[in-house]
Amino acid sequence: MHPPVLDFTPTLPIRDQAALKRGLAEGDVATLLMVLAQYQPDTPLLAACAPYIGSIFEPEKKVPEALADEIRQTLFTLLTQDPPPQATDLDDDTLARLLSVEVGEPVGAEFVPMLKEQMGFDTPEQRSERPGRQAPDDNFKVLVVGAGLTGLLAAIKLDEAGYNFQVIEKNPEVGGTWWENTYPGCAVDTPSHFYSYSFELNPNWSHYTPNGPEFQRYLLAVADKYDLRRHVVFETHVLGFEWDEATNEWEVTLSDAKGERKVRANAVINAHGPVNRWSLPNIPGLDAFAGPVMHTAGWDSSVDLKGKRVAMIGTAASGVQLGAAIAPEVGELTVFQRSRHWVMPNHLQAVPEAVRWAQQHIPGYKEWFRFRAYWFAADGLYENIRIDPNWECEDGASVSAYNEGVRQYCLQNYHAKLKDRPDLLEKLVPDYPVFGKRICMDINWLDTLCRDNVRLEDNTLDHVEEKAIVLKDGSRIEVDVILCATGFDISDMTGGLQIIGRDGRNLKEEWGEDDPRAYLGVTVPGFPNFFLTVGPNSAPNHAGGQNITSETQVHYIMECLEALQANNAAALEPTLEATEAFNAHVDETLKGLIWSHPKAKSYYKNKSGRVFLSSPYKLVDYWGMTREPDLADYRLIKGKARAVA
């Protein structure tokens, strides 16, 4: 399949009335109501429908068909009339009111500025057109590590702002993790219409949660549209960085097929991401197994699984996707569960053709639908992770009334699908609160475990022999192939790179094995002009939203670079005091959130129990914190950039 076409501009009046009727009939009613409100912000249908609009956890709530039909009929008349109607310029108060109706709960005014950007209503700012802006020095060179979701975004923004930059990518194509991961069933577990760039909404997703190849095609389309490959050096590894205080430059060591070489850059944006450093699990005897052994991120498509006896180790995000995809074709599938994971019901599958048409042709539909997806997959879930100190729950299975409601929502799915398998129910249901660690999407996973050719082993694996896996009780399971859905090394945020900053400071030594800290998750004292993405305590683990975090962090990095130009400075780094104050606030806030729960054992925590990965803030709060650098929290190094090789 070819990459999607991203440029769809709806026009009025809509001439294809039959297609419009189908789109209105199958479209999301709450979203259609918002489209209508663009033209009639005071329509009485808002008040009439509001009591019937709820969250995904309230499936019993449904707009009565008579009201839904009135919305459809009114919209049909408006969208086909000639001359076409003019959409109302919604003020912030009106927008907040409409947003609250669309999701059936209050949406505060603080969300409006971010949502106008993220819904695609605001035209993205062009830094190159800012009045009085000092353009970047041609000698100032920026190096970006990685051409995945975040690295491509950085390239777009650097190019638009006129910076001299280059992207270093170890793979032969852009896409990062979505290029690398090709295992069967690979998918995104954030809703399609949310997981994209705010300035490049894709109205043509085939599924509400896209598979990996489809999202990779989206990134390819973005790379094509912005002509990004001309900035990328492919099949080249970054080995490390060293700050040269005499010249205020980073000396960067690269490696490719021809060997090692050095290049220089004034600033580095490390966008290599945390989910590309995989390794096989440390299981005794695994290296002696005679058959194929594959990690999901190192998939070998030449291995034929049809009819084979397959062992799969791991039942987290990649495991539930892989297992459900291969179970129908393998002879036997033995699943080894190392720890339990909550799975969330996933009722959304293929996007009907009529709804895809609506996304493309009905003005505002894709923008309003994106908000609904964002709310129920991200900040609308934030209360779910907040610990209510007055909440009493036996065995600590939940942390608040809201969290208990989500738990019951998930349990209904377990009980419905496993009603005839109490043995599986006993093995699968976790004892920690929902969202205590990464949640998984139930895309046929529980049904898969009920298949006759599938067997679930709960923490019984002892060691591996040449042709079998041996359990703790001594019994042997003969297998032909071992698949490892065992995740990534997240805690080493240096990614194996040697990073030497000012005064010879070694970032790996300062962070230790698994205790990284940074200012706003982006900058680090002693490492001038070194910018992290998905850095310490910046991951949006309360739900989805890495796309927003990437946009937020790249925006902040760009504003730091702009501050250098405006202040005739060569470099900046955060002060130790500002960094310590930020991290103290992070640690204190985390105490009141679900990841600090004693039963929540996850890769979000380091060995000492500190939550080092998760951001304790809503996406909207982090967005607000990163609009521009507070230069009082930074040390500016004066000087001009010189030409670098």
Structural domains of the chain in order of their starting residue, each with its CATH number: 17-124+352-379 (no CATH), 136-174+228-277+494-638 (3.50.50.60), 286-342+398-431+434-484 (3.50.50.60)
Does residue 631 contact residue 560 with C-beta atoms inside 8 Å?
A: no
Of the candidates 643, 644, 634, the one whose C-alpha atom is nearest the C-alpha of residue 564 is 634
| Sheet with 461-464: strands ordered across | 461-464, 468-471, 476-478
Cα–Cα distance between 167 and 290 in angstroms, integer? Answer: 40
Q: Looking at residue 193, what DSSP letter applies?
A: T
619 close to 378: Cβ distance less than 8 angstroms: yes
| Residue owning tokens 């890495």 | 546
606-630: average pLDDT: 95
Pairwise CA distance, residues 324 & 448, whole Å: 6
pLDDT score at 4? 63
**Residue 567 structure tokens:** 């202040």
H or E stretch at 415: helix 401-417
Other CB atoms closer than 10 Å to residue 291's CB: what's the count? 15
DSSP 4: P
Instruction: Please report the pLDDT score of residue 555 as a whole number.
Output: 98
CA dihedral 440, 446, 452, 454 (to 10 degrees): 20
Q: What confidence score (pLDDT) does residue 544 get? A: 84
Q: Could you give the CA distance from residue 511 to residue 275 in angstroms, rounded to a whole number?
A: 19
Query: Which stretch of 134-138, 366-370, 498-502, 637-641 has the lowest confidence by average pLDDT?
Result: 637-641
Residues 198, 120 contacting (CB under 8 angstroms): yes
Give mean pLDDT, residues 415-430: 96
Cα dihedral 512, 517, 523, 526 sign: negative
Closest CA to 183 of 574, 389, 483, 528: 483
For residue 456, pLDDT over 90 is answered with yes
Higher confidence at residue 640 or residue 152?
Answer: 152
Q: Is the pLDDT of residue 274 over 60?
A: yes
Q: What is the pLDDT of residue 639?
A: 81
Mean pLDDT within 328-342: 97
Least confident of 134-148, 203-217, 274-288: 274-288
Residue 59 has phi, psi (to 5 degrees) of -65, -15
From residue 582, alpha-carbon distances to 149, 382, 587 in Å are: 27, 20, 9
Alpha carbon 587 to chain centroid distance? 23
**Cα–Cα distance, 62 to 49 (Å, whole number):** 9
The CA R_g of the chain, rounded to the nearest whole Å, is 26
| Residue 378 C-alpha from the chain's centroid | 10
As a whole number of angstroms, the longest Cα–Cα distance in the chain is: 79
Confidence of residue 549 (pLDDT cuts 50, 70, 90): very high
Residues 6+ apart with CB under 8 A from 190: 209, 377, 544, 545, 546, 547
Q: Is the pLDDT of residue 645 over 60?
A: no
Judge whether residue 2 has pLDDT over 60.
Answer: no
CA angle 210, 603, 319 (to 5 degrees): 40
- Please compute the mean of the pLDDT values over residues 297-326 and round it to a whole number: 96
| CA-CA-CA-CA torsion sign (377, 383, 384, 387) | positive
List, in sequence order, every residue forming a beta bridge with 243; answer none if it has no partner. Answer: 250
pLDDT at 284 over 60: yes
Token reading at 49: 């429908």
Please state, in angstroms and rounded to a whole number, the distance separating the CA atoms of residues 78 and 313. Answer: 55
Quote the pLDDT of residue 624: 97
Chain mean position to CA 514 = 22
pLDDT on residue 503: 96
Classified as helix, coil or strand, 156 is helix
Q: Which residue has the tokens 């000092």?
A: 134
pLDDT of residue 68: 98
Confidence of residue 643 (pLDDT cuts 50, 70, 90): low
Query: Are 130 and 640 contacting, i.e. CB atoms less than 8 angstroms apart?
Result: no
The H or E element spanning position 463 is strand 461-464
Percent with pLDDT over 70 in the chain: 98
The proportion of the chain whose per-residue pLDDT surpasses 90, expressed as a percent, equals 87
- Across all residues in the chain, what is the average pLDDT? 94
Sign, Cα dihedral of 140, 145, 147, 152: negative
pLDDT at 94 over 70: yes
Predicted confidence (pLDDT) per residue in 134-178, tens digit = 999 999 999 999 999 999 999 999 999 999 999 999 999 999 999
pLDDT in tens, 22-76: 999 999 999 999 999 999 999 999 999 999 998 877 878 999 999 999 999 999 9
- The answer to whether 346 and 443 have CB atoms below 8 angstroms apart is yes
Residue position matching structure tokens 């990095």 = 557
pLDDT at 88: 93
* Assigned token pair, 610: 């500190």
5 pLDDT exceeds 70? Answer: no
- CB-based burial label for 196 (10 Å; 0-12, 13-18, 19+): buried
Helices (H) and strands (E) in the chain, counts: 20, 21
Nearest alpha carbon to residue 176 among 256, 273, 254: 273
Q: How many CA atoms lie within 13 A of 95 on its CB side?
A: 20
> Is pLDDT above 60 for 3?
no
Q: Which of 143, 304, 151, 109 is nearest to 644 (CA)?
A: 143
Angle at CA of residue 490, ends 322 and 524, nearest 5° = 150
Cα separation, 148 vs 495, in Å, equals 15
Q: Can you read off the two tokens belonging to residue 55?
A: 């969250």
Query: Which strand (E) or helix (H) includes residue 413?
Result: helix 401-417
Nearest to 181 by CA among 237, 219, 145: 219
The pLDDT score that the predictor gives to residue 275 is 63
Mean pLDDT of 109-131: 93
Distance between CA atoms of 170 and 364, rounded to whole angstroms? 39
35 in Cβ contact with 362 (< 8 Å): yes
pTM, to two decimals: 0.96
> What would the pLDDT profile of 495-517 be if each residue is shown by its tens digit?
889 999 999 999 999 999 899 99
Per-residue pLDDT, 181: 94
To which H or E segment does residue 237 belong? Answer: strand 237-244
Surface-to-core class of residue 47, CB atoms within 10 Å of its CB (0-12 exposed, 13-18 middle, 19+ buried)? exposed
Task: Encode pLDDT of 563-599 as tens digits.
Answer: 999 999 999 999 999 999 999 999 999 999 999 998 9
DSSP state of 139: T
